[in-house]
């Protein structure tokens, strides 16, 4: 077993102050790291957990790194950990299995990377020393409870669970668990760290300007996305949606529709697959794909990998160049959405005529539905029929998908033998 000694002669070049001050504090069973985007919280927790695993322990650490949805692991926390090991010149000393998504450190510690969309797989993992919940707001209370119960291996000392997230709605389990008025927190068991982009001294000037520009362009989103404040419960656009695991085979006879909303830096690109049952007036949200920084060829490749390259895909009409490039890359049936005066309000009104059921793996859609609210008139303090321009990318893609039937007497979608990717 190899002993690793790392030396950071100038720690300010490696760590943000907030993570550095708690780098070797393992006394709290639960560490909550929350705040605005680009605050460095996830990067800092990765650094802390990697250093902890490299420490001198009687028994090597066994760390479970989690996202709610398995297919998001590769491009998020798995890559973040590999980047950390590479930066610290440790990667050549590690054994990396990219297919199983495991990393064995030179001192015998093991990192496992899993999605929580199949909880039964997690139950079979024994002997954990630590758990990391990336984007913890995407999970639910039952997930958190189950994970705390997995951390019961007595041979491992100073077992911990780390929860990182950006605050969302006060309906979210994270708010009810640690922030709701009246909640009793045991300070010996739980420590809470809050941060914003101002705590991340590695951000460059361009990134800071982009973030601060939200204060003028979208003040409501600025408070949540940038400052990391929980959203005030306002009048929700979709207050009564249902979330549960959807049975693909049971819904196979329903027509499918596909929508695409473009994004890049601050906003993710959102690709949605929905089904509609006109007999029960129900919209089923089957699948989502949401990711930042996607170029048009990336989008075309993603659609092909999901098996939907031959389907009609309705995309945001504001991006004709992107639509043309994606069509050039083999997605021949992509087309612009119908847009006109009050098309957003009309599209929302159409959706509100249906009962909305969302697969519980569509975590971004659920987050949006729990935060998508109406604007208030400043003069009268009354709600308007116009929604706030935030938490709406997956919802916009659903609106585009439903262009196919919005105003039509019957759906024309293609029946698919639907398999969840």
Indicate which CATH number applies to the domain containing 190.
Answer: 3.40.50.300
Domain assignment of residue 399, yes or no: yes
Give the integer Cα–Cα distance in Å for 260 and 397: 5
Domain assignment of residue 229, yes or no: no
Task: State CA 306 to chain mean position distance.
Answer: 19
CA 159 → CA 28, 61, 87, 370, 417, distances in Å? Answer: 9, 9, 26, 33, 45
342/261 same-domain check? yes
Give the integer Cα–Cα distance in Å for 290 and 66: 17
| DSSP string for residues in 222-246 | IIIIIT-PPBP---BSSTT-EEE--
Residues spanned by the domain of 307? 242-415
397/249 same-domain check? yes
- Residue where a domain terminates, one of 155, 189, 205: 205
Give the integer Cα–Cα distance in Å for 158 and 26: 6
Give the integer Cα–Cα distance in Å for 252 and 272: 17
Domain assignment of residue 371, yes or no: yes
Domain assignment of residue 411, yes or no: yes
- Residue where a domain terminates, one of 205, 230, 252: 205
- Tell me the whole-structure pTM to 2 decimals: 0.79
Give the closest residue to 61 by CA, choosing from 27, 90, 23, 103.
103
Domain assignment of residue 7, yes or no: no
Give the integer Cα–Cα distance in Å for 143 and 361: 13
192/290 same-domain check? no
283/375 same-domain check? yes
Domain assignment of residue 69, yes or no: yes
N residues, the chain: 421
Contacts of 144 (CB under 8 A, 6+ apart): 133, 136, 161, 163, 173, 177
Give the three-state DSSP class for 198. helix
Q: Are strands 30-35 and 242-244 parallel, antiparallel or unpaired?
A: unpaired
Domain assignment of residue 6, yes or no: no
243: phi then psi, degrees, rounded to nearest 5: -125, 130
Residue 254 is part of a domain; what is its CATH number? 3.30.420.280
296/376 same-domain check? yes
Domain assignment of residue 390, yes or no: yes
Going residue by residue through the chain, which has 421 residues, state the pLDDT in tens, using 9 for 90 and above: 677 889 999 999 999 999 999 999 999 999 999 999 899 999 999 999 999 999 999 999 999 999 999 988 988 999 999 999 999 999 999 999 999 999 999 999 999 999 998 777 788 899 999 999 999 999 999 999 999 999 999 999 999 999 999 988 888 899 999 999 999 999 999 999 999 999 999 999 998 998 888 888 777 678 878 888 887 657 889 988 999 999 989 999 999 999 999 998 778 999 999 999 999 999 999 999 999 999 999 999 999 999 999 999 999 999 999 999 999 999 999 999 988 778 899 999 999 999 999 999 999 999 999 989 888 888 888 888 889 888 999 999 999 999 989 853 334 444 444 433 3
């Amino acid at each position: 077993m190899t002993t690793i000694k790392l030396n950071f002669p100038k720690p300010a070049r490696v760590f943000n102050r907030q993570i550095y001050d708690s780098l070797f504090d393992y006394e709290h069973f639960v560490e909550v790291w929350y705040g605005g985007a680009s605050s460095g919280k996830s990067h800092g927790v990765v650094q802390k957990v990697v250093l902890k695993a490299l420490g001198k322990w009687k028994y090597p650490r066994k760390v479970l790194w989690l996202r709610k949805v398995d297919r998001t692991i590769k491009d998020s926390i798995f890559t973040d950990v590999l980047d950390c090991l590479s930066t610290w010149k440790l990667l050549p000393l590690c054994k990396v299995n990219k297919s199983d998504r495991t990393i064995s450190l030179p001192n015998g510690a093991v990192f496992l990377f899993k999605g929580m969309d199949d909880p039964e797989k997690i139950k079979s993992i024994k002997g954990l020393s630590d758990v990391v919940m990336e984007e913890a707001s995407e999970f639910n209370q039952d997930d958190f409870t189950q994970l705390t119960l997995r951390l019961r291996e007595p041979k491992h000392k100073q077992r911990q669970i780390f929860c990182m997230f950006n605050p969302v709605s006060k309906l979210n389990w994270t708010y009810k668990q640690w922030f709701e008025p009246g909640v009793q927190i045991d300070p010996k068991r739980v420590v809470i760290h809050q941060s914003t982009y101002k705590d991340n001294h590695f951000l460059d000037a361009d990134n800071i300007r982009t973030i601060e520009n939200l204060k003028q362009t979208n003040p409501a989103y600025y408070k949540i996305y940038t400052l990391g404040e929980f959203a005030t419960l306002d009048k929700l656009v979709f207050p009564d949606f249902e979330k549960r695991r959807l049975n693909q085979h049971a819904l196979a006879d329903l027509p499918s529709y596909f929508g695409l909303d473009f994004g890049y830096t601050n906003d993710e690109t959102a690709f949605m697959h929905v089904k509609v049952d006109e007999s029960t007036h129900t919209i089923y949200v089957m699948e989502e794909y949401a990711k930042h920084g996607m170029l048009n060829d990336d989008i075309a490749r993603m659609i092909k990998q999901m098996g939907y390259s031959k389907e009609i895909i309705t995309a945001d009409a504001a991006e004709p160049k992107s639509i043309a490039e994606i069509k050039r890359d083999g997605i021949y049936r992509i087309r612009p959405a119908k847009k006109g005066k009050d098309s957003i309000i009309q599209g929302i009104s159409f959706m509100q005529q249906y009962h909305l059921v969302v697969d519980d793996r569509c975590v971004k859609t659920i987050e949006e539905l729990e935060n998508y609210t109406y604007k208030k008139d400043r003069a009268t303090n009354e709600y308007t029929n116009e929604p706030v321009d935030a938490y709406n990318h997956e919802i916009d893609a659903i609106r585009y998908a439903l262009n196919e039937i919005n105003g039509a007497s019957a759906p024309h979608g293609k029946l698919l033998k639907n398999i969840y990717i």
